[in-house]
Chains A and B, each alone.
Chain A
Amino acid sequence: MRARLIEPGVDAYGDGAGATNPAVNAGSNAGIVRGLVARMTTPLLPDDYLHMMNPLWSARALRGKIIEVIPETEDAATLVIKPGWGWNVSYQAGQYVGIGVHLGGKWHWRSYSISSAPATGEARGRRKELTITVKAMPEGFLSEHLVRGLEPGTIVRLALPQGEFVLPDPPPAKVLFWTGGSGITPVMSMLRTLDRRGTMPDLVHIHSAHTLVSAIFRDERLALAERHAGLQLIENFDDQHGLLDVGRLTDVCPDWMSREAWVCGPAPMLAAAEKQWEKSRLTEKLHLERFSAVLTTSAQGGHVVFAASGKAADVDGATTLLEAGEAAGIQMPFGCRMGICHTCIVPLKKGVVKDLRNGTEYQENAGVQTCITAAAGDCVLEI
C-alpha cells in the first residue's frame, strides 16, 4: 500500500483498515464507523466529502480556522487557531506547530512555536484553540502575510505539534529563560503554563528586544512578574542598553551556572550560548530551540530513481532527495525544507537514505522526509 504524503498512517484507499494515525483512531468506535463509511466513499475518505460542509471536518490533512488575529507590536501578531478533526492531541509548552497557508494557489508551510499554554485538567483532550505568535520578517513574504493579511475565518493547514524544547512538569527548582526577539514565543507558552499550574519555580527570565515597543508580550510578562515572587524579569532593549551578549550574562544573572537554562533567539545568540555552556561543561543543563536544521553528516550518494515519474539522477551525498528531485524536473511535494513539517514525505521503495541532520538511516518502505535526507547508495523513490 502506498502511503499518503502527509499522514503515512492513513489508508490511501480509504477502507479505514490502515488508519493507524493515532489522531484518527483515538476513539475506536469512531474508527469503525469511519472504516464502514469509507467503504462507500472509496477511493476517497469520508473526510473528503465532509470538509466540503465544514472545512474543519477532516482528519486527512489537519486543518484549522483562524478565529482572531491579535496585533502584539508593530510587526508581530498572535493568531488564534481553532483546530479541526484529527487534532485530538495535546501539546507541551515550548513545542512548535507547522502551519500551511494558501497563497497564490499554493500551500506554503512554515513552523512557529505555540505561544498559548496547553489545556490542563478538565479541559485536557477537548479540542481547544491554540495560538501562534508571528513576527513579520523583512523579505519574509509569508510571515508578512500571516501578520497583516489573514482574515478571521481563513482556513489553514496544520501539522502535529512537535519539538524537544519543552519544560518538565514539575519544573526544576532553579530555571533560566534567555530569549531574544521573537524567541520569546515558546517561552511565553512555558510562562503561561507555569502560571496556570501554579508551579512557578525560582526563575530568571532575560529577554532582549530591539526597542521597548518591539518587545512582544511585555505587559503580560510584567504582570506575571508582579504576581509571582519567584519570577525575576530582566529586560534588555538594544537601543538603550546595547546588545546583551553572552559576556554580560554573569553581570545580569550571577548564578546562571546553577540554573537549568532554556534559550531561544537569533542564530548567533544560540551559537554563543552553546559555546559558553560547553566551555563551562554545563551542556546537559542547556536547552536550545533552533529554527533551521543543521545538516552535519553526509551520505555517500548514489543513483536515485523516481519511479512514478520515470526519472533518475546520480546524486552526491550532500544533495537532499528533494533538491535532486527538483533538479530532475519533478514537482516534489515540499514544505518547510528543514525537516519539520513532513509535507515532503515520499515513500522509499528500495535502498537506504540517510538523515543529514543526525545520520539516521531509513530502509525501504519508510516514508522519508526528502528535504533532510540524501541517498546512501542507489535507491528508488515512489514519486
Chain B
Amino acid sequence: MAISDVTTFAHLSETDVEALGRELDAIRRDIEESRGDHDAAYITRIISIQRRLMVAARLTLLASSFPPAWVAGTAMLAAGKILENMEIGHNVMHGQWDWMNDPEIHSGTWEWDTICPADQWKHSHNFVHHTFTNVIGKDNDVGYGILRVTSDQKWHPVHLGQPVYNALLALLFEWGVALNDLDIEAISKREKDPNETKRQLKGIWRKMRRQVGKDYIIFPMLSGPNFLTTLSANVTANLVRNLWAYMIIFCGHFPDGAEKFTKEELEDESKGEWYLRQLLGSANFEGSRLLHVMAGSLGYQIEHHLFPDLPSNRYPEIAERVRALCEKYDVPYTIGPLYRQYGQVLRTILRLSLPTKSVSPVQGPPELRRATSEELRTHAGTMAPQAAVS
C-alpha cells in the first residue's frame, strides 16, 4: 500500500502526486536561491537576544531572595532557554543555517542547552523522526515507549496510568528527550550493540554533569546567601521550558488530522509520496509572530516537515504557498489555535488510557472538514495522534 492509497489522497493520480512534488521542489529552490543577508541577520539577532536574556537572567538571579528579582530572573531564564532550544538549537541542528558557512552557527558544531547531547538528538530526530515520520515501528518517538498514543498500540492495564505518565513526561521532558535515542525497547530486546549503548550513556552522562552543574550548583553557589532561591528559580525555569517544549512538540503530530502510517506504506515511496506523508502527518497552529518564534517556528510544523533544513524565518511565506497548493490539489492542511490543538492531544491521551478501539475526532477546523466525515470515520483509528518530537 502506498501513501497515495490513503483515502484522503485517493483522488490524486500518480501524475498529480508527481506534479505536487515538483511544485514543492520549486518552493525549496526559490528559498534556497534567495537566502542572503536578511536571513543571516535574523538568526544572529535571535542569538544575540537569547544570549542577552541569559546574561540578564543570571545577573538578576544573584539577588533571587528579592521576590521581584526571582520572578523577573526566572522568566528571562525560561524564555532564554526556550529560545535556545527551539528557534535556535533545534533549527541550527537541522542545518537550516549551514548555508552561511559559519562554523559557529552550524549543525556540525552546535551544542544546545539541554541534557540530550547534540549528536544523539540529530540521529533520533533529524534522521529517524524526520525520515520515518509517524511510521509505526520506525519512528521511535512514538509515545516515548511510555504512552499509548494510537489505538494500533495494544491496550494493557499499565496504560491506565497514562494521565500520570503524560504529566511526568511533560515535567521531565528534557530527560525524556535525552533518553530517546537510546531506544530502550531495542535494548530490552537485545537488538542493540551494547557498546553503542555504553557510548551513548557516556555522552549523556558528560552532558548531564555540565547542565546540572551549571544550573543547580555553580549559579546557586555564586548567589551566596541566595543559594536556595536561585536554585528554585533555575529548577522552575527548566520546568517551564520542559512544559512549553512538550506542549509545542505534542501539537506537531498528534492533533486530529495528523495521520500515521505503516511500514508497508513506506515501500517504494516516491519523493512526491514522501512529501504527502509529511503533509498529512503534521499539524500547524495559529499565533502571533512572537508565539511562532518562541515555538521554534514549529507552529509551521507542516512546512518544517516538508523542508526541515530551510531557514525558519521563511516558514511564514512558505506556508502561504503550501496552503495554496493544498487547496489546488484538494489535500487537507491541518491548522487550528494552539489551545484547541493541545486539547485534542490531551483528549486522545486520556481516552487511549482505556481499552477503546478508536478516538472519534471532535469538530475539526474548516480545512479538516473538507475531508468528508466518511473519510474521517474511516481514519479515526489511524488518525489517533502519537507521540513524536516536532
A residues with a Cβ closer than 8 A to B are 2, 4-6, 12-15, 39-40, 42-44, 48-49, 52, 60-61, 100, 102, 104-109, 307-310, 331, 333-335, 343, 346, 382-383
Q: Are B109 and A382 in contact (CB under 8 A)?
A: no
The one of B100, B103, B126, B218 that contacts A4, using a Cβ cutoff of 8 Å? B103
Determine the chain B residues whose CB is within 8 A of the CB of A104 once the complex forms: 36-37
Q: Are A308 and B107 in contact (CB under 8 A)?
A: yes
Q: How far is the CA of A336 from the CA of B211 in the complex (A)?
A: 37
Given A13-B207, A43-B111, A105-B35, decide whether A308 and B104 contact each other with a Cβ distance below 8 A: no
The one of B58, B101, B119, B127 that contacts A343, using a Cβ cutoff of 8 Å? B101
- Does B98 count as interface, using CB distance less than 8 angstroms? yes
Given A104-B37, A105-B36, decide whether A12 and B122 contact each other with a Cβ distance below 8 A: no
Given A39-B218, A52-B51, decide whether A333 and B106 contact each other with a Cβ distance below 8 A: yes
Q: Are A48 and B213 in contact (CB under 8 A)?
A: no
Residue of B nearest to A7 (CB): B103
The one of A5, A39, A40, A106 that contacts B109, using a Cβ cutoff of 8 Å? A5
Residue of A nearest to B122 (CB): A308
Counting chain B CB atoms within 10 Å of each CB, the highest count among A331, A335, A383 belongs to A331
Q: How far is the CA of A334 from the CA of B309 in the complex (A)?
A: 18
The one of A49, A105, A108, A309 that contacts B40, using a Cβ cutoff of 8 Å? A105
- Does B39 count as interface, using CB distance less than 8 angstroms? yes
Q: Are A107 and B111 in contact (CB under 8 A)?
A: no
Q: Mark B202-225, 1 if CB is under 8 A from A, else 0.
A: 000011001101100011001000
Q: How far is the CA of A43 from the CA of B108 in the complex (A)?
A: 14
Q: Mark B108-147, 1 if CB is under 8 A from A, else 0.
A: 1101110000110011001100010000000000000000
Q: Report A339 CB to chain B, min CB distance, Å.
A: 17
Determine the chain A residues whose CB is within 8 A of the CB of B40 once the complex forms: 102, 105-106
Q: Are B55 and A60 in contact (CB under 8 A)?
A: no
- Does B99 count as interface, using CB distance less than 8 angstroms? yes
Q: Supply 11 A–B pairs (Cβ within 8 Å), ascending by A.
A: A2-B118, A12-B111, A40-B222, A44-B111, A61-B102, A61-B104, A105-B100, A107-B100, A333-B103, A382-B119, A383-B108
Residue of A nearest to B222 (CB): A40
- Does B38 count as interface, using CB distance less than 8 angstroms? yes
Q: Are B103 and A39 in contact (CB under 8 A)?
A: no
Q: How far is the CA of A139 from the CA of B137 in the complex (A)?
A: 53
Q: How far is the CA of A100 from the CA of B119 in the complex (A)?
A: 27
Q: How far is the CA of A49 from the CA of B80 in the complex (A)?
A: 14
Determine the chain A residues whose CB is within 8 A of the CB of B219 once the complex forms: 40
Q: How far is the CA of A72 from the CA of B10 in the complex (A)?
A: 69
Q: Are B119 and A39 in contact (CB under 8 A)?
A: no
- Does B373 count as interface, using CB distance less than 8 angstroms? no
Q: Mark B32-46, 1 if CB is under 8 A from A, else 0.
A: 000111111100000
Q: Report A358 CB to chain B, min CB distance, Å.
A: 25
Determine the chain B residues whose CB is within 8 A of the CB of A310 once the complex forms: 123, 126-127, 131
Q: How far is the CA of A48 from the CA of B50 in the complex (A)?
A: 12
Given A13-B207, A333-B98, A333-B106, decide whether A49 and B36 contact each other with a Cβ distance below 8 A: no
Q: Report A353 CB to chain B, min CB distance, Å.
A: 17
Determine the chain A residues whose CB is within 8 A of the CB of B214 once the complex forms: 39-40, 42
Q: Are B106 and A5 in contact (CB under 8 A)?
A: yes
Q: Are B103 and A61 in contact (CB under 8 A)?
A: yes
Q: How far is the CA of A61 from the CA of B48 in the complex (A)?
A: 17
Q: Report A305 CB to chain B, min CB distance, Å.
A: 12
Determine the chain A residues whose CB is within 8 A of the CB of B55 once the complex forms: 49
Q: How far is the CA of A308 from the CA of B52 in the complex (A)?
A: 30
Determine the chain A residues whose CB is within 8 A of the CB of B101 once the complex forms: 100, 106-109, 333-335, 343
Determine the chain B residues whose CB is within 8 A of the CB of A15 once the complex forms: 210
Determine the chain A residues whose CB is within 8 A of the CB of B95 once the complex forms: 309, 331
Determine the chain A residues whose CB is within 8 A of the CB of B104 once the complex forms: 48, 60-61
The 5 closest A-B pairs by CB, nearest first: A105-B40, A331-B98, A310-B127, A43-B111, A5-B103
Determine the chain A residues whose CB is within 8 A of the CB of B309 once the complex forms: 331
Determine the chain B residues whose CB is within 8 A of the CB of A61 once the complex forms: 102-104
Residue of A nearest to B203 (CB): A1
Q: Are A308 and B112 in contact (CB under 8 A)?
A: no
Determine the chain B residues whose CB is within 8 A of the CB of A106 once the complex forms: 40, 99-101
Q: How far is the CA of A52 from the CA of B104 in the complex (A)?
A: 13
Determine the chain B residues whose CB is within 8 A of the CB of A4 once the complex forms: 103, 109
Q: Report A18 CB to chain B, min CB distance, Å.
A: 11
Determine the chain B residues whose CB is within 8 A of the CB of A109 once the complex forms: 101
Q: Report A259 CB to chain B, min CB distance, Å.
A: 43
Residue of B nearest to A38 (CB): B210
Q: Are A52 and B103 in contact (CB under 8 A)?
A: no
Counting chain A CB atoms within 10 Å of each CB, the highest count among B58, B101, B213 belongs to B101
Q: How far is the CA of A48 from the CA of B119 in the complex (A)?
A: 20
Q: How far is the CA of A107 from the CA of B95 in the complex (A)?
A: 15
Interface contacts beyond A44-B51, A307-B123, A343-B103: sample of 5 additional A-B pairs, CB < 8 Å, sorted by A: A13-B206, A42-B214, A106-B40, A309-B127, A346-B108
Q: Are B210 and A42 in contact (CB under 8 A)?
A: yes
Q: How far is the CA of A62 from the CA of B40 in the complex (A)?
A: 19
Q: Are A308 and B37 in contact (CB under 8 A)?
A: no
Determine the chain A residues whose CB is within 8 A of the CB of B112 once the complex forms: 43
Q: Are B103 and A308 in contact (CB under 8 A)?
A: no
